[in-house]
Copies of this chain bind each other. A is one copy, B any other.
């Protein structure tokens, strides 16, 4: 909608791929060098980009700080965290918490496995949406037309032979997940890794997040992992209960400045 801002923001993902110099930025934006320079300077003033010693630009520190503050404001995360830690202490595996937002599913919290073999994933990383257990749970909760539209639009990369191959299969899987109230990913993303997930619901019954436990085959088989399902569901339910209990007050809190 706003050309200048649009261009400026387009620089960020571009730099996320790796550092770039002025000409490269100007080139990829399709604007004159001087224009790109002004945009970069503005971004720089706000700490969004950083100019390294070789004069090339890369993403700046403020970005981290912002992402940081943003994630701290998600109250589900705050409530869920101790539960995730507790679950991790009981079973020892990696525990994830994820939310859905505008056609993306992303991890907002993670407790690392106690076993030496760990998964590669990170808070803030978008999830493999067509296969991950948490993604299935979150998408299964979308209203039918939206779910359908999204499913049609997605890519279905074949990470492994057990990845969801196409929209039709995905929608069928979502229906199943919706029905049973939990989800799995059995080697759909990485051949040797399995996950079991359960939904976290708000007071209105809608999903606000999803959580999962993941472990590689070498540590426990898929069958063994599935025995954890009741524990996972109980944890998710505990979070749901606590989250729903918190029936929204904090908004006005920061305004109040009353004296005793």
Contacts and interface: CB of A to CB of B under 8 A. Distances in A.
Given A4-B4, A48-B9, A112-B112, A58 B38 contact: no
Contacts of A67: 59, 63-64, 66-68, 124
Number of copies: 2
A124 B8 contact: no
Contact of A59 (B2, B70, B122): B70
Interface string A48-85: 10100000001111111111111101000000000000
B4 A66 contact: no
A18 to B, nearest CB: 6
Given A16-B73, A64-B123, A65-B126, 16 more contacts: A1-B41, A4-B5, A6-B46, A8-B8, A9-B46, A16-B69, A18-B254, A47-B102, A60-B70, A61-B102, A61-B126, A64-B70, A64-B125, A65-B104, A65-B124, A67-B124
A259 to B, nearest CB: 23
B125 A43 contact: no
Nearest to A106: B61
Contacts of A42: 1-2, 5-6, 9
B73 A106 contact: no
A46 B4 CA distance: 13
A106 B46 CA distance: 16
A257 interface: no
B125 A13 contact: no
Contacts of A102: 47, 50, 60-61
Interface in A27-53: 38-39, 41-43, 45-48, 50
A179 interface: no
A124 B64 contact: yes
Contacts of A66: 12-13, 16, 59, 63, 67
A125 B66 CA distance: 9
A101 interface: yes
Q: Which of A43, A59, A64 has the most B CB atoms < 10 Å from its CB?
A: A64
22 contacts: A2-B41, A2-B42, A5-B5, A5-B8, A5-B43, A6-B42, A8-B8, A9-B46, A12-B46, A13-B66, A16-B70, A18-B73, A19-B73, A59-B66, A61-B101, A61-B102, A63-B67, A64-B106, A64-B108, A65-B106, A65-B126, A68-B123
Contacts of A126: 61, 65
A203 to B, nearest CB: 12
